[in-house]
Amino acid sequence: MPTSRPKHLNLMQIRLPLPAFVSILHRISGAILFLLLPFLLWLLGGSLESAASFNVFKGWMNHWVIKIVLLGLLWAYLHHFCAGIRHLALDLHMGLELQTARATSYAVFGASLLLTAVIGGLLW
What is the mean pLDDT of the segment spanning 90-98?
A: 95
Whether 1 is covered by a domain: the verdict is no
Whether 111 is covered by a domain: the verdict is yes
Of 34 and 11, which is predicted with more confidence? 34
Percentages helix, strand, coil for the chain (3-state, rounded to 5) are 80, 0, 20
Q: What is the pLDDT of residue 95?
A: 94
> How many domains in the chain?
1
Whether 71 is covered by a domain: the verdict is yes
Are 82 and 108 in contact by the 8 Å Cβ rule? The answer is yes
Q: What is the pLDDT of residue 12?
A: 79
* Separation of alpha carbons 75 and 118, rounded Å: 11
At residue 87, does pLDDT exceed 70?
Answer: yes
Of the candidates 15, 30, 17, 27, the one whose C-alpha atom is nearest the C-alpha of residue 106 is 17
**Domain limits at 33?**
18-123
User: What's the CATH number where 51 sits?
Assistant: 1.20.1300.10
Q: What is the pLDDT of residue 103?
A: 97
Whether 7 is covered by a domain: the verdict is no
pLDDT digits (tens, 9 = 90+) for 49-84: 999 999 998 898 889 999 999 999 999 999 999 999
Task: Please state, for a pLDDT cut of 70, what percent of the chain lies above it.
Answer: 97
Whether 93 is covered by a domain: the verdict is yes
Q: What is the pLDDT of residue 6?
A: 64
Whether 2 is covered by a domain: the verdict is no
pTM for the full model?
Answer: 0.85
Whether 42 is covered by a domain: the verdict is yes
Are 22 and 105 in contact by the 8 Å Cβ rule? The answer is yes
| φ, ψ dihedrals at 92, nearest 5° | -90, 15
pLDDT digits (tens, 9 = 90+) for 20-31: 999 999 999 999
